[in-house]
Amino acid sequence: MGLDVLIPALSLVLQPQVLVVVLLATIYGLFIGAIPGLSATMATALLIPLTVYMDPVPAIAAIVATTAMAITAGDIPGVLLRIPGTPASAAYVEEAYALNLKGKAQLAMGIGIVFSAAGGLVGAIILLVGAPILARAALNFSSFEFFWLALLGLLTSALVSTNAPARGLFSLCLGLLISTVGLDVTSGQPRFTFGVIDLYGGVSFIPTMIGMFAFAELLRGLSSAGTTPPVPERQKLWSNPFAGVGRMFRTYPWSFVRGSGLGAAIGALPGVGGDLAAWIAYGMSKRLSKTPEKFGTGHEEGLIEASSSNNAGLSSAWVPALVFGIPGDAVTAIAIGVLFMKGLNPGPQLFVDNPTMLTAVILTFALANLLLIPIGFFAIKGARHVLAVPRGLIVPTILVFCVVGSFAINNTVFDVGVMLAAGLVAYLMESNRFPIAPVILGLVLGPILERNFIMSMQIADGNLLGFFGRPVSAVLGVIVCAVVLIPLIRSVLRTRSRSTADIGAS
């Protein structure tokens, strides 16, 4: 891409109208993202009527800025109240909340925002430079590869992210079991629905997620088993909430590089996308860390890797959408509609016919991610006050948010019941030291895993070796087997030679 394209594209982006739209969209995304239960998809859908009256670049910029900020802001209630804003932030909500309990809420939010912005920038650059190549590579992924990726995501969460793999595996299986409730993908037969029509569509994961994290936390507080985050010391009004974040780039440069690279790669795969990236990134961070024992106790490393991957994946989800018109998620599906409306029909022709406009659209990604930092600054300033509120007032408020958030997803009271039940189950699980995050991941990835497994088996005529029959699929299969077998082999070796066990374990 030459300067002859880049400079006119820049002049399309650096218009007052575009800048104002991006600013407003970022603020709007901040509010949607910070309120648990209101999703980035909902925010985008509500934007569409406004985009009708805009030029193509501000219209797309509005969508991009809203989603980037909404997903980033989803980390804020995660840090403060242990309510993940999105399935992706569920991957590291425990870690972020643990930092808050150590009195480092501001640092946790600062990491979330700065590394999200940095990861998003990397994603935007990759989109700008390599979209057509990346899209072609993503097109080579069939159900065989998607199956292995989903399995890899599940295993890293159960075996790597938790300190007790057996308990993690139990939680994961519970999540997978819940994901089988509803009509079977292949045959359309109802499973585990017990004649309840509301269960035909399955157990929705947002009410479950709100219940398991937020409502369970309230229950723990009531039974006084929970720990209250310390109230931060009164700081000067203009103290820098990003203090200490810059140091993180120097301490953990590889976490950032790996996280954004992984996010960009996985985000480009249609239908799997950003949620999965954060989970794999967090798991990988722990596996490759020099201090894996610190994970889960309020350690910055995993947070950095997962937040960077989150937003990098958000940008690269647009790769298959722009190049082949295949949307990676509901947000890009809506955005494709907007592109068509503006006469920018997605497809390889767009790259040939209108490179300036396309480059301008991609540059808005960079702009939106840069804006995360100043807006995030004020968000952290404001959010700090939540911790100073007495518990007696904050508990009923969270409960209201839990109920409203669960109701708002499908507009059914049934989901409020799902939220309450999930909260009770999670409370019982946590008081017996079973981790919660793998349940949510099982629920999100279960249908993807099952669908791709069935499709692959139909293609391979029921031959399991078919999962190793394609080059990429075979490589992924070997990685998955290694993730499962290496800890097993290691523990066998350890029992054989107890004397060297301590060295081998690291």
Partner 1 sequence: MKVFKAALAASLLVGGSLALTGQALAEWPERAVTIIVPWSAGGGTDATARAVAQELEERFGQPFNVVNRTGGGGLVGHITIANSAPDGYTLGVITIETTMFEAQGLPGAAPENFTLLGRFNADPIGINVRADAPYATAEDLIKAVSANPGALKASGANRGGLSHLAWAGLLNTLGVDPEASPWVASDGSAPAMQQLAANAISIVSTSPAEAQSLVDAGEAKTLVVMADERSSLYPDIPTAGEALGVEWSPLPFRGMAGPAELPEEVVTKVSEALAEITEDEDFITMMESRGFSVAYQDAETFTQTVMRSRDALVEAMQAVGLAQQ
SS3 183: strand
Q: Closest approach of Cβ 98 to partner 1, in Å?
A: 24
| Whether the Cβ atoms of residue 204 and residue 447 lie closer than 8 Å to each other | no
Q: Closest approach of Cβ 386 to partner 1, in Å?
A: 7
Q: Closest approach of Cβ 458 to partner 1, in Å?
A: 4
Angle (nearest 5°) at CA 119 between 145 and 205: 55
20/45 with CB nearer partner 1: 45
Q: Closest approach of Cβ 472 to partner 1, in Å?
A: 9
159/445 with CB nearer partner 1: 445
33/298 with CB nearer partner 1: 33
- What is the crossing angle of helices 355-383 and 56-73, to 10°? 30
Which tokens sit at 33?
């993202």
CA distance 277 to 283: 10
Q: Closest approach of Cβ 350 to partner 1, in Å?
A: 10
Encode 414-446 in three state secondary structure. HHHHHHHHHHHHHHHHHHCCCCCHHHHHHHHHH
Per-residue buried b or exposed e for 141-177, using 16+ beta carbons within 10 Å of the residue's own CB: bebbbbbbbbbbbbbbbbbbbbeebebbbbbbebbbe
80: CB partners within 8 A, 6+ apart: 100, 105, 229, 383, 386, 387
For residue 190, list its beta bridge partners: 183
How far, in Å, are 455, 486, 493 from residue 499 at the CA level? 48, 20, 11
| Whether the Cβ atoms of residue 94 and residue 306 lie closer than 8 Å to each other | no
10 Å CB burial of residue 217 (0-12, 13-18, 19+) is buried
Q: Closest approach of Cβ 223 to partner 1, in Å?
A: 24
166/196 with CB nearer partner 1: 196
Q: Closest approach of Cβ 42 to partner 1, in Å?
A: 7
257/399 with CB nearer partner 1: 399
Backbone angles phi, psi at 182, to 5 degrees: 115, -170
Q: Closest approach of Cβ 247 to partner 1, in Å?
A: 30
2/188 with CB nearer partner 1: 188
286/342 with CB nearer partner 1: 342
Q: Closest approach of Cβ 188 to partner 1, in Å?
A: 4
SS3 182: strand
Q: Closest approach of Cβ 286 to partner 1, in Å?
A: 31
Q: Closest approach of Cβ 320 to partner 1, in Å?
A: 8
56/346 with CB nearer partner 1: 346
Token pair 């909260």 is found at 423
| Whether the Cβ atoms of residue 200 and residue 183 lie closer than 8 Å to each other | yes
393/488 with CB nearer partner 1: 393
Q: Closest approach of Cβ 160 to partner 1, in Å?
A: 28
| Whether the Cβ atoms of residue 37 and residue 408 lie closer than 8 Å to each other | yes
CA distance 149 to 147: 6
88/326 with CB nearer partner 1: 326
Q: How many CB atoms lie within 10 A of CB 305?
A: 33
Strand duo 182-183 + 190-191: pairing: antiparallel
Q: Which amino acid is at 339?
A: L
Q: Closest approach of Cβ 102 to partner 1, in Å?
A: 23
| Whether the Cβ atoms of residue 399 and residue 214 lie closer than 8 Å to each other | no
CA distance 64 to 367: 10
- What is the crossing angle of helices 300-316 and 253-267, to 10°? 30
CA distance 112 to 180: 33
77/84 with CB nearer partner 1: 77
185/257 with CB nearer partner 1: 185
189/499 with CB nearer partner 1: 189
